[in-house]
Copies of this chain bind each other. A is one copy, B any other.
Amino acid sequence: MKVETAVAAMTATLEAERATGRRVGLVPTMGALHPGHAALIRRAADECDVVVVSVFVNPLQFGPTEDFERYPRDLDADVALAAAAGATHLFAPTVAQMYPSPVATTVSVAGLTDTMEGAHRPGHFDGVATVVAKLFAIAGPCRAYFGEKDYQQLLVVRRMAADLSFPVEVVACPTEREPDGLARSSRNAYLSPAERRAAPVLHRALQAAAEAAGAGVSDPAGLRRVMAEVLATEPDVVLDYAEAVDAGSLAVPDGAFPAGSDIRLLVAARLGATRLIDNLAATVAAAGAAPTHPRPTRKAEPACAGA
């Protein structure tokens, strides 16, 4: 695996690879690679001839009070994990290489960014859309792999790529989970042992709401309540938001979701100084379907890893 730091060289390398007929896969990351990233890289290696893992902690997407400075960085470990998972190139530019002068250009995606992470982290999605547009411009035609763990980000990136006609196919990959259901995240490293024990409550809340939706709860407020009730069982977990939204538009209907709707359940919560997010797909029960789980807040079993 080759490690590249220069923007122009990365572009030229991938252009030359495509000229010989090779297909390029891109896995954008902020480093601190974990098994969730490894799954993205393996998928890219299955589907592409050249796999670039970018490692860049992007200052634009952190708010002034957020964890940019303390975000975990370990390039040697990232190199080892990326190579083992099948990457052919690791692109690790410095901040000065990516932003040689103050960035005057911002890429914004309206609508999808108004709520949830967009509302709680002002400027976050502008920073994400800007750096991903830049990575897409650098990479050229490719398949780009994003985890569903950051579901709102996935939709924002997909919309940005389509709107700007980047020749990039955005591939969504399922969230990787610990055996107890906690979504894999670089930020899990911040958790104290007690916080780590409490953290799977996010996934349990999502599972409970998904079951409730399948059992006939079709109004967003009802689904939000299910999630809040489960989260309240862990007193050290502070809820930022718990939402039930249309899976494609992220819209919340005034009334109930239509029967059979594909929805997404999303939650953000703080454990001490650490903020975690997670989400889950669900389907609102089809009209006339018999509710199979009449107790929506019951504690779910831990999920299998890789679900």
Residues of the B chain whose Cβ atoms lie less than 8 Å from the Cβ of A107: 105-108, 133, 164
> Oligomeric state, in number of copies?
2
**A58 to B: closest C-beta gap in Å:** 13
**A190 to B: closest C-beta gap in Å:** 31
Contact mask A76-119 → B, CB, 8 Å, 1/0? 00000000000000000000001101011111111110000000
Contact of A165 among B112, B134, B163 (CB under 8 A): B134
A110 to B110, CA, bound (A): 18
**Which B-chain residue is minimally distant from A8 (CB atoms)?**
B167
Residues of the B chain whose Cβ atoms lie less than 8 Å from the Cβ of A166: 137
A15-B167, A98-B165, A105-B108 known, 20 other contacts, Cβ within 8 Å: A7-B165, A11-B141, A18-B19, A99-B163, A104-B110, A104-B163, A105-B109, A105-B110, A105-B160, A107-B107, A107-B108, A107-B164, A108-B108, A130-B164, A133-B164, A134-B163, A137-B137, A137-B165, A138-B167, A140-B167
11 contacts between A and B (CB under 8 A): A11-B167, A15-B18, A15-B167, A18-B19, A101-B162, A105-B109, A106-B107, A107-B133, A107-B164, A134-B163, A136-B137
